[in-house]
Amino acid sequence: MSKKLWFYLGFFVLLTGVFFLAIFWGTDLWRKKLPTMNEVKDFAFVNQLGDTITNNNVAGKVQVVEFFFTTCTGICPKMNTNMAVIAKDFADEEDFIILSHTVDPDKDSVARLKQYADSMKIDPKKWMLLTGTKEKLYEAARKSYLLDDQKNGLDPIADQFIHTQLFALVDKSGKLRGIYDGLKKQELTKLNEDISLILKEGYDGPRFVNGIFQNNPN
């Protein structure tokens, strides 16, 4: 094969490589990916302002999720102190929100959640405290966010009580991407890193920049 032919062949390979690099550099395909652990089921809960919040309201946002109760004097205050740091770290991120579900809806009314939120100076646009029926709340904890053992749901609902220090990380497309211990510094550091990572992701599939094959969910 002549040197000229080798030159053209090499130039073609280089040009092809540059073309694909230009396309895929603006997508999620080259980035490190967190595994998908589950998909969040449809939900409808009420926040501290009395507004009904569904999965559609938080679509397109990265979500950190927890389960707590306002009268807890054990792990919950420590969890929410750590959660407040996360809220502060990502306060300027439009596509980020925290969802804190009560596990004691009989006591944690909307008014009580509002009082609790006010005591922590929580911005309701960035951090929602949610209530609903015990059945639906516990179902979400176990079947959507995997924060409690499914076997614990076999007892009568009146006898059940979820008390977990775990945080769940959900991406913009409503997929569970990680579970973290909300009391361990090392895991909270990892959570912050992972939030930053999936904030860079789009919805389902690649999102191309510069208008090239862009998958725009809006």
| Token representation of residue 42 | 């449809």
Q: Is 101 marked as binding a ligand?
A: no
Measured CA to CA, the distance from residue 153 to residue 3 in angstroms comes to 72
Entry pTM: 0.80
Ranking 1-5, 30-34, 159-163 by mean pLDDT, the lowest is 1-5
The conformation of residue 170, written as its DSSP 8-state character, comes to: E
Angstrom distance (rounded) from CA 149 to CA 58: 25
Mean pLDDT over residues 62-75, rounded?
98
Task: Report the amino acid identity of residue 53.
Answer: I
pLDDT tier, 14 (very low <50, low <70, confident <90, very high otherwise) = low
- The class that CATH gives domain 38-199 is alpha beta
Distance between CA atoms of residues 176 and 168, nearest Å: 7
Binding site annotation covers 163?
Answer: yes
Query: What is the pLDDT, as a whole number, of residue 109?
Result: 98
β-sheet bridge partners, residue 63: 97, 170
Query: Does residue 28 surpass a pLDDT of 90?
Result: no
Instruction: Summarize pLDDT for 71-118 with one digit per residue, the tens.
Output: 999 999 999 999 999 999 999 999 999 999 999 999 999 999 999 999
